[in-house]
Structure 1
Amino acid sequence: MLKTHEVLQAQEGFISHQVLEQVSGPGEFNFVTIVQWESVDMIDRAKVAVQAAHRARNFDPQALFQRLGIRADIANYRPVAA
């Protein structure tokens, strides 16, 4: 995760990121990663960069998730007026 975040931080349009750990409640996920970007276009570019970095390290995140029984819920969100 740290290597991936290093790649993300180096990308154009990166604003910030947080990794949150669940400390109570019945939620399904123990960790949540939130990355903020300037625009949707920047997200698409970052995905390409992360995939290239994973290939360069011969890292297959899906294989890791399967081996460790990790369920990832990967999606894009946008702020809404509350």
Structure 2
Amino acid sequence: MSDNPESLALLREIRDNQREALALQREHLQAYQRRLDRVERINDRAEAIQGRAGKAIKAIVWIAIPLVFLLLLLMFLPYFSRLFA
């Protein structure tokens, strides 16, 4: 192969473009990794919030619902007392 100046210039240009492309790919990969890390943090927070919500719902089920039934019973107590009096 002869050392043609045009060929050498073209090869250098290709090499430089490849370096730029690789640098751009690295930047994109780093940006993607940052976004992925952020998404993982958001998902972790969402899971924690869902866990707390689940505990709150359990508390409502075990406390509020029996209270509602007790209130209904107390509301209907005068009617029941007339029936059995």
TM-score bin (small chain)? under 0.3
Give the TM-score normalised by structure 1: 0.25
Larger radius of gyration: 2
Q: What is the TM-score of this pair, normalised by structure 2?
A: 0.24
Q: Which has the higher contact order (CA 8 A, sep 6+)?
A: 1
